[in-house]
Chain A
Amino acid sequence: MLFLSSRRILIFSWQHFWRNIWLSLVTITIIVLTLFSLTTLILVNAIADYAVNSVKDTVDVSLYFDNAVSEEAIKTLKQELDKIEELKEVRYVSPEEALAQFKETHKDDKDIQSALAELDKNPLGGTLILSAHAIEQYPLIIEKLKDLKADQLAEKIDYNDHQKLIERINNFTAKLRTFVLALSLVFILVAILTVFNTIRMGIYIHRTEIGIMRLVGASNWFIRLPFVIEGLLYAVFGCLVFWLFLALALHFTGDWINGFLAGINFDIRAYLNQNILNILGFEFIVVAIINMISAAFAMGKHLKV
């Protein structure tokens, strides 16, 4: 009997959905827009985090030594620096490696290349490149360098903190996140109201049938469940339509978007492929919950059982 009732409930739900197809399509459209704003929010977060982390990875401290400083002295200093627990890595670049890197970096600059060709000996000294575990530890590391008198041995200490750049990125993305979040909340509210209204209209349209169901002793859940399932159907179809649009959009515009994000080397297709199940699952759950809550509100207000 339970199986038969479940089957009939599903049939009634589908009938509600299909017989008011234009209303259903409007509801699905609102859900698609909601998913669009949610996905945009997720992507903005991902891109912002990626951008900030990319910049953080470039932060380091470089100690440049005069070519008069012996390699042994530099390596002795390196051994002391290796003991600093805040440092993740201390990398020694020999004068020869430094020159090779310099030539590679400026390989298209003819003036620099011709100047280097005229030199008898390597003008560059060794370099120690220090990388911290966390960007916040660099000021402490600088202090420890002073304690080890590294600033007296090195010709120059270069701290590429990019702190201002990181702050600018964070400020910009925070504003963008706030905007997209506000937009998402607006769409979620619109989705709630739309589903509420659709279910309310469904209750009104089927009021005769509902009245007769109550008259002949249909259980309350038999009367209510079709509307709950109808809400779920909107979630299912809304998600399917949106994901189809997303797949098509990525197919045709993925390269253009990646070109736009080339500066931070973020591949939107790769990100979505890696996280597709989490994102789709999260979105479906959000939309399903929104719809069922809206349906419950509509029934509580307009369905007297």
Chain B
Amino acid sequence: MIELRNVSKIYPNGTEAVKSVTLHIKPGEFVSLVGRSGTGKTTLVKMLVAEEKPTEGRIILGGWDITRIRTTDIPMLRRQIGVVFQDFKLLPRKTVYENVAFALEVAGYSKKHIEDVVPQILALVGLESKAKEFPDELSGGQQQRVSIARALAHRPKILIADEPTGNLDSINTREIVDLLLKINSFKTTVMLVTHNREVVNSLRKRVIAMEEGHVAYDEEKGRYVL
């Protein structure tokens, strides 16, 4: 599903954020990408969503080589990858329903389709009763679930969660991780980017550790060892 072949990213100021990374993530896999701050995790995520282009190497997503993707094709790529961030990135003046629907509106879906799909997604993340509330009326965990719901609007094959529990307490963290596992159970490939050791170690899933821009280790049923 996700294949990185000898990918490197060197910024114009000479910083080598990612060095010769080669990875293969299978469809339906749950992978934790771990490492300290500045080890290249976020740069890797940016390259997967074509926010950055690799300096060397190739990136292939679901058979699509996106290494030199055209600007006009980037929106199509981003509809196939759901992304969730630490700071939720919700629209404060839209309700929960409208935040999720927004993802479908910008893609040109009909009102009928949106009315069919959004309630299903909200039910999946357990927020169907909160549809008419605004983000500032929700807890941190609930806001993150809205963010995940929006990321699922296009039924992506890949869901990338970049530090999704960074702003949450331990209870909400657990809920979010359980939700990600639930999504993974529906055969969506999930990449969890985190430096939360407890979460990673409790999952007993594949762990890819980054250190100074390269892969330090890659273990099935791995642990996050600092």
- Among residues 217 to 233 in chain A, which have CB atoms less than 8 Å away from a CB atom of chain B? 217-220, 222
Residue of B nearest to A218 (CB): B106
Q: Which of B2-10, B17-25, B34-42, B107-115 contacts A (4 or more CB under 8 A)?
A: B107-115
Assembled-state Cα–Cα distance A214/B50 (Å): 11
Q: How many A-B residue pairs have CB under 8 A?
A: 56
Assembled-state Cα–Cα distance A163/B192 (Å): 88
> In the assembled complex, which residues on chain A have CB atoms less than 8 Å from the CB atom of B111?
4
> In the assembled complex, which residues on chain A have CB atoms less than 8 Å from the CB atom of B109?
1, 4
Evaluate contact between A216 and B108: CB separation under 8 angstroms: no
Evaluate contact between A217 and B89: CB separation under 8 angstroms: no
Assembled-state Cα–Cα distance A116/B89 (Å): 100
Evaluate contact between A8 and B78: CB separation under 8 angstroms: no
A226 CB, min distance to chain B CBs, angstroms: 11
Q: Which of B68-76, B125-133, B171-179, B210-218 contacts A (4 or more CB under 8 A)?
A: B68-76
Q: Is A5 an interface residue (CB 8 A)?
A: yes
Assembled-state Cα–Cα distance A48/B154 (Å): 65
Q: CB within 8 A of A216: which of B71, B72, B103, B110?
A: B103
Q: CB within 8 A of B108: which of A2, A211, A213, A220?
A: A2
> In the assembled complex, which residues on chain B have CB atoms less than 8 Å from the CB atom of A79?
none
> In the assembled complex, which residues on chain A have CB atoms less than 8 Å from the CB atom of B83?
215
> In the assembled complex, which residues on chain A have CB atoms less than 8 Å from the CB atom of B110?
1, 4
Evaluate contact between A215 and B79: CB separation under 8 angstroms: no
* With A2-B108, A5-B108 as contacts: A216 and B91 at CB distance below 8 Å: no
A189-220 near B? 1/0 per residue, CB < 8 Å:
00000000000000000001101111111111
Majority SS of interface residues in chain B?
A: helix
- Among residues 26 to 41 in chain A, which have CB atoms less than 8 Å away from a CB atom of chain B? none
Assembled-state Cα–Cα distance A222/B77 (Å): 16
> In the assembled complex, which residues on chain B have CB atoms less than 8 Å from the CB atom of A305?
71
Q: Is B150 an interface residue (CB 8 A)?
A: yes
> In the assembled complex, which residues on chain B have CB atoms less than 8 Å from the CB atom of A219?
72, 75, 106
B154 CB, min distance to chain A CBs, angstroms: 7
Q: Is B134 an interface residue (CB 8 A)?
A: no
B170 CB, min distance to chain A CBs, angstroms: 27
Most buried by A among B79, B106, B151, B154: B106
Q: Is B65 an interface residue (CB 8 A)?
A: no
A215 CB, min distance to chain B CBs, angstroms: 6
> In the assembled complex, which residues on chain A have CB atoms less than 8 Å from the CB atom of B151?
216
Residue of A nearest to B78 (CB): A217
Residue of B nearest to A209 (CB): B91
> In the assembled complex, which residues on chain B have CB atoms less than 8 Å from the CB atom of A215?
78, 83, 89
Evaluate contact between B106 and A217: CB separation under 8 angstroms: yes
A205 CB, min distance to chain B CBs, angstroms: 12
- Among residues 89 to 148 in chain B, which have CB atoms less than 8 Å away from a CB atom of chain A? 89, 91, 102-103, 105-111
A-side residues, CB < 8 A to B, are 1-2, 4-5, 8, 208-209, 211-220, 222, 305
A-B contact pairs, 7 of them (CB 8 A): A212-B91, A213-B106, A216-B107, A216-B153, A218-B107, A219-B72, A222-B108
Name 20 extra pairs, CB < 8 A, besides A215-B89, A218-B106, A219-B75: A1-B108, A5-B108, A8-B105, A8-B108, A212-B91, A214-B75, A214-B78, A215-B83, A216-B78, A216-B107, A216-B150, A216-B151, A216-B154, A217-B103, A217-B106, A218-B107, A220-B75, A222-B106, A222-B108, A305-B71
CB-CB nearest 8 A-B residue pairs: A217-B79, A218-B106, A217-B78, A216-B103, A1-B108, A5-B108, A217-B75, A219-B75
